[in-house]
Structure 1
Amino acid sequence: MTRRPGSRSWLPRRLRGWVDPFVLAILAMLLVGVLVPIPDGVQAVLGTASSLAVSLLFLLYGARLPTREVGRSLRDWRLQGGLLAATFVVYPLLGVVVAFLATPLVGPGIAAGLLCLSLLPSTVNSSIAFTSVARGDVAGAISGATVSNVVGLVLTPLLVLGLMSGSAGIGLDGAGVGGVQTVLLRLLLPFAVGQLLQPWVGERVRRTRWLTQLVDRGTILLIVLTAVSGATAQGVWSGLGVWSVVALVGACAVLLAAVLAVTWWGGRALGLDRERRITLLLCGSMKSLATGLPIVAALLPAATIGLVAVPIVIYHQLQLVVCSIIARRSAAGQA
């Protein structure tokens, strides 16, 4: 049997659709960062490489995205307004509550990570793919994910600065303001340059999807390795035990379940048809690792990124598994 490029056929059949090879790579970087001592000089090189990779990633994002899609997406105000409200209003409110309740169980650093993940923009590729599988409004998903990520470049840093400045164990203070400036220079400026270049290079960038995917995934792996190895060098993992991990997974599950319920029933309250309710459910309930982690890395002090990144990584895998099941069952129900 011929294997398609990029297929998951090397995984056991029972694991296909449940385990993302990229998530396995992230977990491998986590283990390396925890178990392998990395010299200070190498750590500095990794940090510089991560910063450059992030800027390149957002340059490619800007070059790939047709500007007209942003304008087109604003026409369906109920769906797009619902997606933005779910991502940047409902999620943060729930994140504040879950982080507060989880602090005694997981500690202030991990709890800050729970709050932080609730402030991130929506995914792009995953939410669109799941919406397609579930037979939702794919055009609305593309537009909503696009707008979420563009708005997130500005709104996520402001939310982090506003809601996390007083988080125990984070201590943004001056780093938060400097982090917003870093986001503007390292992320938003390359994105704007990419948008300016888009009429000339956009089609070529969209055809070479492997390039964006390579930079996308390579950037995430670099950030995870740099953040976790830095946290290891500072001994921040000493207070994180087995039960803390169990409590963290439970808190992530509670947060995801609450958002899924709000987006599904909220879609009915907005008068959306089934296709658009599916889009609101799957796009409004997901958080972006690819866009979010670079923003977090630019905003937070280096000493705290490792702990904050752990809930984001765990939540990413959990939402992939849960939303995959929802998409398949939704499609089966409409068959």
Structure 2
Amino acid sequence: MHVVIIGGASRIGSTVGYTLSGMDPDVEVTLVDIDEDAAWAHATDISHAKYHFSGTLERVSNSATDVGGAVRSTTPAGLEGLDPDLLVFNAAAPRPEEATDRGAREAELDRNLEIVDTVADQLRDLEPVPVLVVTNPVDRLTYRFWSVLDWPRARFIGYSLSEMARAADVVGRKLGEAGQNVHCPIMGEHGEHIVPVFSHARVDGEPVEIPESEYADIREYIRDIPFEIAESRGVQETSRWVTSAGVTRVIRTIAAGENETPICLSTPLAGEYGLRDVCLSVPVTLDENGVAEIHDWELSRSERRELATAYEAVRADVDGM
């Protein structure tokens, strides 16, 4: 498998490259960045790190040609010469140092929209492959890629698994359970209008009832914690550890060709949940082509209402692009 990370010299991009190469040394990785020297340095360092990982972890790639996957770098001008199986879009304009509150994601739309359009132009001549969008605002930019590239909608995926990890943490603490044993899916927007699907929460795979009195606190924690991290550690650092781990999880799932349990990721909707012409996080299963199936979960009345609110918020920005 060949994974191309656009914005590969960034903190998240390079960390994804390192994490993926460590977990699957057979996967070929190309870091694409306008900072040619930094991309080369990260690629070379990761290549050396693969020496310590090789042969120690289970492989998910099935192709014999993947053995000993190289880590390379190039500039955006080299995109057309690549033959990727999956694209990770992580390129972004620099974030202001003061962008440490929940309104910061909205401001990123104007800064990053032009970058999306430029990259989409560079991708037009490639064969359609899954595009995993990590740059914020994820739902809007995933929609933008879909709207300007004439590729099947199943190819477009917006990353939104960090919220699920944060939900597991706070729900676990409230229930006295280890977060690793908690599963609380998050639908809706990657941002302010998240929809924790409490009706589908599980502990050790079994349904669990979360007191409704805790709902508001759980939502606020999930919304606030990434910005508390940014304020304490520096906005340029972002929540790169949880994001890189989650992005790697998505890539490995696509490489494996299937996932039995749906995970919530942003993808274009065409009538699912009564919504269309928007990208929102919904439960999906993945295969080597991207989204294999969108699952129609039964939701509570309040969850349906919150999902409609998320739709209206994202759709308003899409209309204004």
Q: TM-score under structure 1 normalisation? A: 0.28
| Structure holding more helix per residue | 1
The structure with the largest strand share of the pair is: 2
- Of structures 1 and 2, the one with the larger relative CO (CA 8 A, separation 6+) is 1
